[in-house]
Structure 1
Amino acid sequence: MLKKLKILSVFLVFFFMLPIITGLLPFPNNQKYEPPMAEEKQVVYASSNVQSDKTAEDVTATEVTATGDSSASDVTPTMDSFDVLFVFTHSQETYKPFVKSQTGTVAVYDDQANLLSMSKAMEDYFKLNGLNATTLDVDIMAETVKQGKTMASSYSTARTFLSQELKENKYDLILDIHRDATGHKQSTVTHKDVGYAKTAFVIGAENPNYKTNLSQANALNQALNQIVPDISRGIIEKSGDGVDGVYNQDLSNNLLLIEIGGIENTEDEVYRTIAVLAQAIAKTYVN
């Protein structure tokens, strides 16, 4: 009886140890299973290769998911790059789809999700095209309200900050970026099944730099439409009663006011156009 118990004990120990022994043997299917890591989403920007024969598909070869997060990309300008300053005189202008995605509400002006908050992503698009872009980091509309003035006084508010900036730094091009009030049909162009926010240049005809500004706007207008046909609505000259007529363009002969899209354009449509604009500037001024 004792002998049978010993034999049974040996068998029980053997079957208990069998999985452990098997795990130590070099069988082909015995590797430790590692679950796949979730791929981290990264911001994808338009191509930085600027060539004269480049098509719009090259500019938007990958879908844009830019968020404006400063940690989203490692983008640095090239040596001796072309210096661009972004100004947002109507800093809280925004796009309905963009505000809705950020706050859940629908608005055409917002103190958080607006043109100014999109500036970091815009800078990155320019830097990828060899343009050293920086932003006049002032919420000009908030400053205007703080001074007890109306929105019509935004240009005089901006003038104070812009004048000081231009005393301290020099720029090859200054872009005062705005959003138009038109609907989606008027503010969007589709090229080969891809949507872009349309642009328009506004030139104050009552400033001493009028001819130079107009010449530069014409050159950029043509370059934009060569990349994406009809992406630019052209140039709007402003003068006379009831309009500014200057738009601070007397501060620099390199200051252009550009409208990008309308109130219903999506974030992607706007960023695609920023990418095209960066390429147009690189082709016109740098190349």
Structure 2
Amino acid sequence: MSAPGLSPTKAAPTRRIPSRPAGSVPPRSSFAKNLRRNLTAHGFLIGALICFALFSWYPMIREFFLAFQKTDNGGVSWVGLDNLRTVVNDPVFWQAWKNTLLFTVLALVFGFLVPFVVALVINEFRHGKGYLRLLVYLPVMLPPVASVLLFKYLYDPGYGLLNELIGFFGLPEQQWLQDPDTSMLSVVVASTWMNMGGAALIYLAALQGIPGELYEAAELDGAGVLRKIWYVTIPQTRLILSLMLLMQIISTMQVFVEPFLLTGGAGPEGSTTTVVYLIYQYAFNFNNYGAAAALGLLLLVLLAGFSAAYVKLSRAENE
């Protein structure tokens, strides 16, 4: 029996601390982990930006200023458009542009069409595609100097394999690199063989992404091989084809290695003098870095115009 006036006391309510799920990370540790991960990612990004800044962006900016300057006895002076006038008044200037455009057109005929046809042929094989891809890409893995020396041996007028081959059929020997009528075409053939492997593999990857049902529907409609290529293959790979066309134009407009090693740069009667080779002559033979930079700036503006036109056309098609 309890004492009078006294009542049993109630126990104070206890606050329950929520338990942390197993395997959870405290907020501070999660923040530190995310910070370390982001620092690593930003470290790789900063390294790439530094490489681009040193070896790509800075030379372009330096070229822009150098195009309006003249270096004389270690001193630098601003000359305005004098370097551009010097380049334009050079009689080799227009010949170099003519040869560059000729090389670009021929390279588009061979270097743009041949890899696409090679990719179409490889795509039709059911077995051995890996070996064929390796065989096609092998010239790209060879050093450019080795490939050019190989073609220089093939084109040799005395003991060259190409003249031996055409002589077997009773045809007269040709001065492939010594004749101004055939020198540029010879350079284009060598350049196409050296560089078509990468383009062929890109086209092959695009072809393998085309649904087979489209070809089956075209066959049911009675389409032959050429009609399937025209109405199925080309529309399905239009984006890749247009992008590769732009890259082909940009790369061929900057051709230098092939004519420099095959024909010494200028070629017979200046038939293989290109814009980039003329830039090389201004800079390293004439020691006129301002004129070389001015000519390089003209080439940069032209290629930037091609790129801007491609971007505008691509946006118009997507809209």
Say which structure is richer in helix.
Answer: 2
| TM-score bracket, shorter-length normalisation | under 0.3
Larger radius of gyration: 2
TM-score by length of 1: 0.26
The structure whose residues are more often strand, as a share, is: 1
Q: Which has the higher contact order (CA 8 A, sep 6+)?
A: 2
Q: With structure 2 as the length reference, what TM-score do the two structures score? A: 0.24
